[in-house]
Amino acid sequence: MKKILNDLYQHKKLSKSQAKKILLEIAASQYNEAHLASFMTVFMMRPITVDELSGFREALLELAIKVDLSEYNTIDIVGTGGDGKDTFNISTLTSFIVAGTGQKVAKHGNYSVSSKSGSSDMLQSFGYEFTNDESILRSHLEKANICFLHAPKFHPAMKAVGPTRKALALKTFFNMLGPLVNPSSPQNLLLGTFNLEIARLYHYILQDEKSNYGIIHALDGYDEISLTSEFKVFTKSGEELIYPEDIGQKRILQTDIYGGDSVTTAAKIFKNIIEGKGTKAQNNVVLTNAAFALKIIDANRTFDEAFSLAKDSLFGKKAAQCLQQLITNC
């Protein structure tokens, strides 16, 4: 590790295979906390490269407890978090709306790092019990069209860096890896990032793969389509800058999608929206994200078609039924 660190201090880059090897060694607890903290700091002092991120990702996927859901055509809808915006759980709500349209969702999630409530916080507050049992996850997909993959259950390797990350309490490259390491390797991905640099990195990594994907970054900082500003979308076919007005939406205020300062408040807002009782702004944000998710799965759909499918799921209480099914069957 000393040799590698000395090279990195001189601003040398790691190859993909070097990056992978080091992360495998880190996961095997081969380094002390000081070395780990120093290693993580290197990538805060300079941008991480595509090869480095890609190598770290390969290591984590190799060590993950994998689940085979390949006979379903699933989508994951997840963001890096860390946008510091404290919104309500937009990607989790989006997931249930998409599930309500009949599309299978394999959502990867975790407790919150930055906002007050992550998808795991939310589902736990509704009484959902995390599991990595493949047969249970399959039955959730059958009955509720959605299964939830709580990251710590699938990535035991991350335990080796838990204490250092906690002690640092700063955003490290590990925060960028979450959305890239869904242990069921879904065929479709709608990912959000807290900055454009990460969106580009994701784009370069996913370009070489089979999955359909969309990567979102709203230019005012959100890691999802917020409708508070224009947003960037990267897909297999390139990149686009979309204004809310382009898709027939009204621009909304940041306060319209605030999620409160506790899990309890966020859960209340969540329940309200999923029961179809959200404000117009709240509804339009989740429906727009759901429409983009549906367009990723089937690029031939127009935005308006996808949006009305999403509306039918939300206001026809189908999304709410999926949540109900998921919780009662766990």
Give the interface segment with other proteins, choosing from 71-79, 106-114, 164-172, 179-187 (CB under 8 A): 164-172
Residues 230-259 that bind other proteins (CB under 8 A): none
The size of the interface with other proteins (CB under 8 A), counted in residues, is 20
Q: Which is nearer to other proteins, 41 or 132 (CB)?
A: 41
> End-to-end alpha-carbon separation of the chain, Å?
44
In terms of DSSP H, where are the helices of the chain?
2-9, 16-27, 33-45, 50-63, 90-100, 119-125, 134-144, 151-154, 162-168, 174-177, 196-207, 263-274, 280-297, 303-315, 318-328
| 115 three-class SS | coil
Does 34 bind other proteins (CB under 8 A)? Our answer is yes
- Only one residue has tokens 């959605």, namely 146
Does 14 bind other proteins (CB under 8 A)? Our answer is no
Does 168 bind other proteins (CB under 8 A)? Our answer is yes
Q: Which is nearer to other proteins, 8 or 64 (CB)?
A: 8
**Token duo for residue 154:** 């699938």
* Type of residue found at 283: N
Smallest distance from other proteins to CB 218, Å: 22
Residues 92-111 that bind other proteins (CB under 8 A): none
Is-contact 80 192, C-beta < 8 A?
A: yes
Smallest distance from other proteins to CB 179, Å: 22
| For helices 318-328 and 90-100, angle between their N-to-C axes, nearest 10 degrees | 100
**What is the SS3 assignment for 16-34?**
HHHHHHHHHHHHCCCCCHH
Q: Which is nearer to other proteins, 35 or 318 (CB)?
A: 35
Does 170 bind other proteins (CB under 8 A)? Our answer is yes
Return the closest-CA partner of residue 82 out of 188, 3, 198: 198
Smallest distance from other proteins to CB 265, Å: 25
Return the closest-CA partner of residue 323 out of 271, 277, 276, 287: 271
Smallest distance from other proteins to CB 164, Å: 5
Does 35 bind other proteins (CB under 8 A)? Our answer is yes
Give the interface segment with other proteins, choosing from 37-45, 105-113, 128-136, 248-256 (CB under 8 A): 37-45
Give the integer Cα–Cα distance in Å for 108 and 224: 15
Residues 40-79 that bind other proteins (CB under 8 A): 40-42, 44-46
Give the interface segment with other proteins, choosing from 36-44, 57-65, 137-145, 202-210 (CB under 8 A): 36-44
Exactly one of 17, 62, 156, 167 binds other proteins (CB under 8 A); that residue is 167
Residues of this chain that interact with other proteins (CB under 8 A) are 5, 9, 11, 33-38, 40-42, 44-46, 164, 167-170
